[in-house]
Amino acid sequence: MVMFPGAGFVAEPDIGSPRILLATSNSHKLEEVRAVLEPMGFDVIGLDDVPGSHPEPVEDADTFEGNSRLKAIGYAQSTSMRCLADDSGLEVDALDGAPGVHSARYAGIGDDRPQRDDANNEKLLGALDVVPDARRTARFVCCMCLADPDGSIMAETRGTFEGLITREPRGDNGFGYDPLLFLPDVGCTSAELSPDEKNARSHRGSATRLMASELIRLGGDESSGA
């Protein structure tokens, strides 16, 4: 038996070591997905592990689902590998769901990821400055799509992570808006959780566990192209 972190037990698949390309160069995302899939025998690699140059698909869909499909299909075709892609972000109810699909570049400034994260967090706090605590409800959303090199979509999953936007950043773990999503039931932000605690309850952890079940159903390495 193999245990999904925070999600009970499932039967261990007899599929060897199937290789899955995760369409990202974000080391934090790779760590979170690997923490779920690698104990089950999946070999998860990122774009930096694939030789050659692969054009980045234009993410111009207006939903997380749409962008995850664009990335999964685009990179599966350019790498000739079965590809898993996610699109994720933050939805704030008081802002009518913003920043949503624009979460990564919400502020529109910053030369690298840490600078963009700081600018995004600062802009979000400014936008919610006069919003009372009870109305600062929000959630992280993660939509995952698995595509084959022929462009066919094999599976899709969705996970959410509910909380409230705090008044100031708290915590050093995670990335993006993690320091701002307060979890009332545990009295801390997402960035104050340990990696294992975060993976057990986060949007990406949930979507990845659901995708693991789909990968087992699909038979693992049949058409990975690796």
Q: What residues act catalytically? A: 87
**Cβ atoms < 10 Å from Cβ of 2:** 12
C-alpha–C-alpha distance, residues 82 and 153, integer Å: 10
Separation between Cα atoms, residue 115 and residue 183, nearest integer Å: 25
Residues written for the chain: 226
Q: For residue 107, give both structure tokens.
A: 């502020």
- H-helix or E-strand containing 143? strand 137-147
- Cα–Cα dist 41/2, whole Å: 10
Task: Give the span between the Cα atoms of 165 and 138, in whole angstroms.
Answer: 7
Instruction: Indicate the DSSP class of residue 82.
Output: -
Which amino acid is residue 5, in one-letter code?
P
